[in-house]
Amino acid sequence: MQDAAQELGVTPGAISQRIRAVEERHGLRLFTRSKKGIALTAAGEKLHAEIGAAFSVIEAAHRKHFAKPRNAIRINAAPMFAYSVLVSGLGKFSELHPNIQLSVETENRLADLRSEPVDLAIRHGLGDYPGLVSEWLCSPELFLVCSPDLLTRNGPLETPADCLRYTLLPDATGKDWSLWFRAHCVDDSGARYGTVFKDGFMTLRSAIEGQGLALLSDVYVREHLASGRLVQALDVSWPTQFAYYAVGLPHSFERPPVRALITWLKHELSPDPVRRGCHEFCVSGPARAGFRLD
């Protein structure tokens, strides 16, 4: 059982489930089970004798033309997430798991996991994907950020209403600032908005270049806050309504390499202990409603 699981890149429990499925399909007990392992019954031997050669031919053709290494993982993620998290962090994962081969594709469209050769997708949403398994990774927060030079030129911010003195960089929906002001009971009728970018990376770049204030996910700005390219202009934040999830077909989540990657992502994206307390307190608050960050 253990050898079969290793060969297929799944858990022993998954092998047991597949054996039961085959037996239920044929209406016969095809295997005997004991402390020494499993073996074919007479019916199983007969079936194997007739179909074994055909499966061997199929397996040989698959290995020749399509098979990928058992420890290979193909990841699909939005460009912003890949740039902010995967590029900077997967080197550490590879050091911990040198035998796991990773490939990352970045597209804003959602990959069709049922028809495309993708093992794991990183999606931002509510985690409800029919027919797929989803596992929570993190719930990012929106930080109010800008370049340090812009803050020096326009003066410090003490209240949310002070943001109206700045050019505001909206997200792709154009609604993030209005919701933010509403949550803080600020009349934003006099707000001045900058360019709307359909890609969050461009909004981030615009903020770094000093073109205005931006509300950006903490996942995206950690590195830039640490380097000083951005500063947190006002110490207010709250979690967004949506979260990041690892999404895949059920059998993908059974593979040990995929489990190792998900475990690492959760650790990499976990908030520090100080912020975790605020995060857990705020996550159910009414200010969450209406936010989405793709």
Query: Does the residue 86 lie in any domain?
Result: yes
Residues 215 and 260 in one domain: no
User: What is the per-residue pLDDT across 91-143, written as a single tens digit (0 to 9) for each?
Assistant: 899 999 999 999 999 876 677 887 788 899 998 877 888 889 999 998 888 89
Residues 235 and 112 in one domain: no
The helix-helix angle for 87-96 and 256-269 (nearest 10°) equals: 130
**The pLDDT of residue 286 is above 70:** no
Count of domains forming the chain: 3
pTM > 0.75 = no
List CB contacts of 89: < 8 A, sequence separation 6 or more: 268
Residues 23 and 135 in one domain: no
Q: Return the minimum-mean-pLDDT range out of 120-134, 147-161, 195-209, 267-281.
A: 267-281
pLDDT band (50, 70, 90) for residue 66: low
pLDDT score recorded for residue 65: 57
Residues 101 and 134 in one domain: yes
Query: Does the residue 127 lie in any domain?
Result: yes
CATH number for the domain spanning 131: value is 3.40.190.10
Write out the residue range of the structural domain in which residue 42 sits. 2-65
With CA atoms as reference, report the closest residue to 238 among 283, 208, 185: 283
User: What is the per-residue pLDDT across 14-51, written as a single tens digit (0 to 9) for each?
Assistant: 777 878 888 888 788 888 877 777 788 888 888 878 88
Residues 53 and 22 in one domain: yes
Segment 243-264 shows an average pLDDT of: 92
* Residue pair 120/111 in contact by the 8 Å Cβ criterion: no
CA distances (Å), origin 126, targets 109, 213, 231, 244, 291: 17, 27, 29, 8, 12
